[in-house]
Structure 1
Amino acid sequence: MGFPGTWMTESESMVYRVVPKCACSTIGQIMFYSDHGRFFDGDIHDATEGLHKWALENSQPAIRANVKTRSSHTFTCVRNPYTRILSSFFDKICGIQRNGKRYRGNLVPLLIQKYGIEVGGDDGKDEFDQIKSFRRFLLFARDTIRWRRPMEPDIHWSAMSGHVSTFIVNGGRYDHIFWTEAFNDGMQKVLDAAPTQHTVDLAAIPRFNESEGHGPKRAHPVEDYFDDLSMHLVKEIYWRDFELFKYDFDDPSNKMPVGEIDLDEVHAKLGD
């Protein structure tokens, strides 16, 4: 049994299941700081020391042992599906990545050819019809998730419930799931429950938004990108995310949750 996407502080004070596009850069840096009293110099996703990660072979025994014995406070963080898929589009599809190249090499040319999207030119800075291109990207995202074509779904737009569930199915259990939209409240509960080496002042912590500036700015309110068909596609892809994490499907302009997350419900429905 494995725990992909799982990070743990070296002190084993806390265990985190990463969900892409849900403040994972900031959470990783907070975890790093809580052990070392400093932030990692660079993108925390690139760190190969100072933080246990399942992707690092040497970290796997420690993570596996901890999760199996449920020794540490274990959590994850989720986000409104409407804003998450929009963020994925502007960052991963329209944006130039930190290596100076397009995300996944031939992905954007494929989308331009097969789905007729625009991305703002070679550098992502030209004007283009963001709404039309986003809705075409949404068709592509649905195709990858529903039929796994023209490629496997990408972690940045596959459903949050899928990421969250692998941890449960393989024997883990969450103590806390919180929303990016109420980040400080949720993260503070984690810090209060975890015996950290260094005190973390959330009010003073910068937001490590590694995707910021990669792509063009969103030119319209969130709700403008979603017509009736787009909302239908979003529901088809993310219905379980809306249900379990209590977001408002009927109003794309409302990014805030409309109920409390029921951990027992999450474990029961995602533990199959």
Structure 2
Amino acid sequence: MTESESVVYRVVPKCACSTIGQIMYYSDHGQFFDGDIHDAKSGMHKWAMDESQEPITRNVQGHGSYAFTCVRNPYTRILSSFFDKICGIQRNGKRYRGNLVPLLVQKYGIEVGGIDGKQEFDQIASFRRFLLFARDTIRWRRPMDPDIHWSAQAGHVSTFIVNGGTYDKIIWTESFNDGMQDVLDAIETPHPVVLADIPRFNESEGHGPKRAHPVEDYFDDLSMHLVREIYKRDFELFRYDMDNPANKMPICEIDLKEVHAKLGE
């Protein structure tokens, strides 16, 4: 939530969250946060900060501000998680979650492009093995609990509703400017935001190897079955095409009433 309480945003990992956070920061302060917005300890309210929990709770439960979130096609989101979190070297110069990648190499036979993530490897075969791991974590919580970057978006979106929140808008990463403009048009900010002038803050870019193939090449029948099994609600509620990984765009409008009814249970 912005300090001015102009807007509330429910973060969904791997869905333009760095850019949205920087837009919110800019709208209050007239400048961007210097660094990764996830590292900011002041200048905006975050649930992870103890002093922010009371104002966020009060605002959200009283629907004091316009509230929104942002979602992404499950096929491209899980693929992005693989290249960023599994193959990539993180901001701290280390592998994501320490022993996670060695565990995947050993137990699932995944390759990640060597020590620095820059060596050639069979991206398609490794990604499909990663999918098995992601499914195991989500379905059976083994060999570990699911990570926020590949757990279903519906789960992230629902906590806001279950705790008394109401969304005014859910935007799609794939048509970000249109959706974010709708949000900005609906709120008043201390500093005006011109979306065309906002850079993209893709904090994960450059962490891992470049994707060498079109999205659809990574998904055979088995992979698509696994993705459907893991993300069925995401496809249905956020209106993405479950049957065609090549189509990243949503196929119809999101029904906010349906989202609140199904995720508020």
State the TM-score, normalized to the length of structure 1.
0.97
SS of equivalent residue, structure 2 residue 60: helix
User: Which residue, 140, 143, 153 being the options, matches 1:160?
Assistant: 153
1:194: how far off? Answer: 1.1
SS of equivalent residue, structure 2 residue 68: strand
1:57: how far off? Answer: 0.3
2-structure distance, mates of 1:191, 1:49: 22
User: Which residue, 167, 173, 184 being the options, matches 1:174?
Assistant: 167
C-alpha contact 2:16 2:70 (8 A) present in aligned 1 = yes
1:271: how far off? Answer: 0.4
Code of the residue aligned with 1:137 in structure 2: it is F
User: Which residue, 10, 16, 29 being the options, matches 1:23?
Assistant: 16
1:68: how far off? Answer: 1.1
SS of equivalent residue, structure 1 residue 250: coil
Q: Which runs of 5+ in 2 are unaligned?
A: none
* Residue 90 of structure 1 pairs with residue 83 of structure 2: yes
User: Which residue, 245, 253, 267 being the options, matches 2:246?
Assistant: 253
User: Which residue, 222, 232, 235 being the options, matches 1:239?
Assistant: 232
2-structure distance, mates of 1:117, 1:68: 44
Residue 132 of structure 1 aligns with which residue?
Answer: 125
* 1:16-165 pair list within 5 angstroms: 16-165=9-158
2-structure distance, mates of 1:12, 1:78: 22
2-structure distance, mates of 1:168, 1:68: 9
Q: Deviations over 1:192-220 (max 9, x none)?
A: 11110111110110000000000000000
User: Which residue, 181, 198, 205 being the options, matches 1:188?
Assistant: 181
Report which stretch shifted further, 24-33 or 184-193.
184-193
1:59: how far off? Answer: 0.6
SS of equivalent residue, structure 2 residue 241: coil
Code of the residue aligned with 1:49 in structure 2: it is S
SS of equivalent residue, structure 1 residue 74: strand
SS of equivalent residue, structure 1 residue 84: helix
Q: Deviations over 1:122-146 (max 9, x none)?
A: 0000000000000000000000000
2-structure distance, mates of 1:205, 1:67: 27
SS of equivalent residue, structure 1 residue 76: strand
Q: Deviations over 1:14-53 (max 9, x none)?
A: 0000000000000000000000000000000000100100
SS of equivalent residue, structure 1 residue 15: strand
C-alpha contact 2:22 2:32 (8 A) present in aligned 1 = yes
Q: Deviations over 1:62-97 (max 9, x none)?
A: 001101110100000000000000000000000000
SS of equivalent residue, structure 1 residue 153: coil
SS of equivalent residue, structure 2 residue 69: strand
C-alpha contact 2:110 2:127 (8 A) present in aligned 1 = yes
> What percentage of residue pairs aligned between the two structures are identical?
82
Code of the residue aligned with 2:42 in structure 1: it is E
Residue 213 of structure 2 aligns with which residue?
Answer: 220
Code of the residue aligned with 1:129 in structure 2: it is D
2-structure distance, mates of 1:170, 1:149: 28
Code of the residue aligned with 1:192 in structure 2: it is D
C-alpha contact 2:61 2:163 (8 A) present in aligned 1 = no
User: Which residue, 193, 197, 206 being the options, matches 1:204?
Assistant: 197
State the TM-score, normalized to the length of structure 2.
1.00
